[in-house]
Amino acid sequence: MSRKVITTAGASGTPDAATQLLDVVDLKTHFRTERGTVRAVDGVSLNLDRGRTLGVVGESGSGKTILSRSIMGLLPSRNTVRQGHVFYEGVDIVGYDQNQMRDIWGAEMAMVFQDPMTSLNPVMKIGLQITESLTHHLKMDKKEAKATATALLASVGIPEPVQRFDEYPHQLSGGMRQRVTIAIALACGPKVLFADEPTTALDVTVQAQILNLLAAQQQERHMAMILVTHDLGVVAGRADEILVMYGGKVVEQAPTALLFDNVKMPYTEALLRSIPKLSHRSHTRLDAIPGRPPDLVNPPPGCNFSPRCRYVQPSCLVQEPPLMSIGTTGQHYRCWYPVGTPEGDDALARNIAAAGDEDVAVAAFRAAQVAVGATPQSLDPPPVAAPVPGGTRPPPPDRTQPTEEA
């Protein structure tokens, strides 16, 4: 059906269009645990302007939720290391303490949480939960706040808002509750809205409605939105730009249209491949990505994604690819053998040929491990010295010789 194309308003509309609304530079968020330092977010940079939507995509444990909470400064301070810069309207807010952040929370940045079952206070009437921040931030009196709250409830598509005002969260359905949390988040007119998997906990039939509501509100208020999700389908029609995260790092970043036309990172490709297609016959095996997300305490050497990658080559295990950009298109990716390039196609063809019946990624990773002389870490079938395609090994794109210890 018709998907609204979010028009980016020209710079003319806003008075101080010179400074970017949100500019995150090399943000790191590490947690100190008994096992070691968890690098949940490891050097992420992004920027966002008014009225734009950024989709942050990644599987569980990729650091996307921590990224959004870290930008907002909502993480507990204990055992958390937060480095880098978050420029909000040109001012770095990373060093702000709780009191300073309180002026930003709600009024400047707000968040819609994943599960509306737990993000609403069960013993407080929903009306009160909305008027709270209105009376607090905008210094409205009770009557004014109530009128505003009712209008807000109506604007997020809640029928009979006056009656709902005096109801408790448990009296509403999941979709209605998420509408309420959106109304609460929008109450003070934030300039940046973080939507942290806003539809994951909802019925599939309600998901589209909530996403459309968010898009409509964003357009109306000329807000910037960061839409965090694990579902590429959710951001496909709604984000201006997509940022794919893996193991706490950005692995691919591109304007939406460009990303879907011209995937460069094998991880993004694997995500796309894992979406079931309607044209498939029923009981077609899902094309899942083998393995698990990387251990963020002891990340594998080289490329994070190499153990699960269909394109993996020995050099991938040695040197981590930097974030490379394609000209001035705004597309960035982190891969030595990008999808759709001669090297990438070559690598994939080689791996498929060598894999036989086995999963391409699993077999190719084992072969690559043997090639660089590392002890195979794979737990399942002991390495049956997979045939290393002799002579066809490409010269490592990097000049450094593997000096990895076994």
Partner 1 sequence: MPERSSDPGGSSFFAGSGDMASEISQIADGDVAVLEILHDLDPGQVDDAVAKKRLGFGFWLASAWFFLVLVLALLAPLLPLKDPLVPVGRPRQSPNIEFWFGTDSIGRDIFSRVIWGGRVSLVVGFASILLGLAVGGTIGIVAGYYKRRTEAFLMGSMDVLLAFPALLLALVIVSFTGDNSITNVVLAIGIVSIAPIARLVRASTLVFSQREFVTAARSLGASNGRIITREILPNVLLPVLSFSIIGVAVAIVAEGGLAFLGLSVPPPTPTWGGMINDGRAQLDNHPYMSLIPCFIMFLTVLSLNLAGDRIREYFDIKEGAL
Identity of residue 281: R
In the complex, minimum distance from the CB of residue 145 to partner 1, in angstroms, rounded to a whole number: 14
C-alpha separations of 305 from 38, 150, 214, 336 in Å: 17, 48, 32, 12
Q: Are 201 and 116 in contact (CB under 8 A)?
A: yes
In the complex, minimum distance from the CB of residue 81 to partner 1, in angstroms, rounded to a whole number: 17
Give the interface with partner 1 as residue ranges (CB under 8 A).
Answer: 1, 3, 72, 74, 78, 98, 101-107, 109-111, 113-115, 117-124, 132-133, 136-137, 169-171, 173, 181, 184-185, 187-188, 205-206, 208-209, 211-212, 278
In the complex, minimum distance from the CB of residue 218 to partner 1, in angstroms, rounded to a whole number: 17
DSSP secondary structure letters along 262-327: S--SHHHHHHHHTSPPTTSPTTPPP-PPPS-PPPSSSPPSS-TTGGG-TT--GGGGTSPPP-EEET
With respect to partner 1, which residue has the nearer C-beta, 100 or 377? 100
The two structure tokens encoding residue 63: 């650091």
With respect to partner 1, which residue has the nearer C-beta, 173 or 377? 173
Q: Are 158 and 180 in contact (CB under 8 A)?
A: yes
With respect to partner 1, which residue has the nearer C-beta, 6 or 364? 6
In the complex, minimum distance from the CB of residue 378 to partner 1, in angstroms, rounded to a whole number: 36
With respect to partner 1, which residue has the nearer C-beta, 188 or 388? 188
Give the CA radius of gyration of the chain.
23
DSSP tag of 203 = -
In the complex, minimum distance from the CB of residue 55 to partner 1, in angstroms, rounded to a whole number: 16
With respect to partner 1, which residue has the nearer C-beta, 181 or 351? 181
With respect to partner 1, which residue has the nearer C-beta, 236 or 263? 236
Residue 381: count other Cβ atoms within 10 Å of its Cβ: 9
In the complex, minimum distance from the CB of residue 134 to partner 1, in angstroms, rounded to a whole number: 10
d(CA 115, CA 307) in angstroms, rounded, equals: 32
